[in-house]
Amino acid sequence: MLGHPLVFYFQLASLLGSALVAGKLFHTGLHHRYQFFFLYFIFRVFNGIWPILLDFRSQLYLKFWVITSPMTWAFYFVVVLELYRLVLEKHKGLYTLGRWAMYFGMTVSVGLSVLTLFLRIKPAQRSKVLSYFFPIDRGVTLCLVIFLLLMLFLISRYPVRLSHNVILHSTLYTVFFLSSALGVILSGVFGLQNYGNVNLATTIVSCACVYCWLFFLSPKGEEVKVNLPHLGPEHEERLLQQLDSLNETLLKVARK
């Protein structure tokens, strides 16, 4: 049991969808371009079996969650970093700056979250293990949410030509991750008593994103280059010059 009776069916659908997405990525050869994303979906298949079989209130469920959560955090991090690289693959200087900013932001965010453990008088969770894991989970999630939103801002602000797949992947992963982030925050604030409803909502959104990846991510999408509409050709050219100038400056600094 997973709290809400409908969660089981959406978990099952998501598990099937994850296996199909991993298979499609491998069959079409897209796993070469989206390597960490492909590995994450393989992990999702294995990580999606035990929650269906176990009662989320049981100690065994808690043990599995404690073991697999750090793995999930690591995959979240490398998938966001990979997505950031795909968006800025023609602007290596900006990508390098963003990567180091992500390392720094992750360290600070997790550090501040852990610090709240010592400032909190009474943990919201009954389990001592959860009282340690939820702040770390929130720190990782918050940092990655900020970077995903900044990446979407970059895509919408600057007329960078990207493949249809990258734009689709960026949008879907942001929605997917924001739903998970909201689930983490709400579970941490309200505790396990509302876990069932929160888990149902996040599972539905996650399942929808999985099937969007399955149906719309394709080899043809790599060939179609698009950019989001902006104010006009002159404005776009000026923005691109600014972006290229900043990229060149960062590359020169990196070489020194």
Structure tokens at 165: 């797949």
Average pLDDT on 117-135 reads 58
Measure the CA–CA gap between 111 and 130, rounded to whole angstroms. 17
30-34, 73-77, 134-138: least confident range = 134-138
**Interval 47-69: pLDDT, tens:** 989 888 887 778 888 888 888 98
Integer Cα distance of 11 and 58 in angstroms: 18
The angle subtended at Cα 93 by Cα 90 and Cα 99, nearest 5°, is 100
Q: What is the mean pLDDT of residues 137-143?
A: 77
Task: Give the pLDDT confidence score for residue 173 in this predicted structure.
Answer: 92
Q: Is the pLDDT of residue 214 over 60?
A: yes
Return the structure tokens found at 134.
């939820």
168 pLDDT higher than 80: yes
Give me the percent of the chain exceeding a pLDDT of 90.
25
Segment among 100-109, 170-179, 203-212 with least mean pLDDT: 100-109
111 pLDDT more than 50: yes
Distances (CA, A) of 152 to 4, 89, 90, 205: 33, 15, 17, 19
Instruction: Assign 148 a pLDDT band (cuts: 50, 70, 90).
Output: confident
* Whole-model pTM over 0.75: yes
| CB contact at 8 A, 222 and 33 | yes
- Chain centroid offset of residue 70 CA: 14
Is residue 58 left, alpha or beta, with left meaning phi > 0 and alpha meaning psi from -120 to 50? Answer: beta
How is the chain split into domains, by residue range? 7-255
Which of 143, 23, 12, 140 lies closest to 72, judged by CA?
140
**Residue 96 pLDDT greater than 60, yes or no:** yes
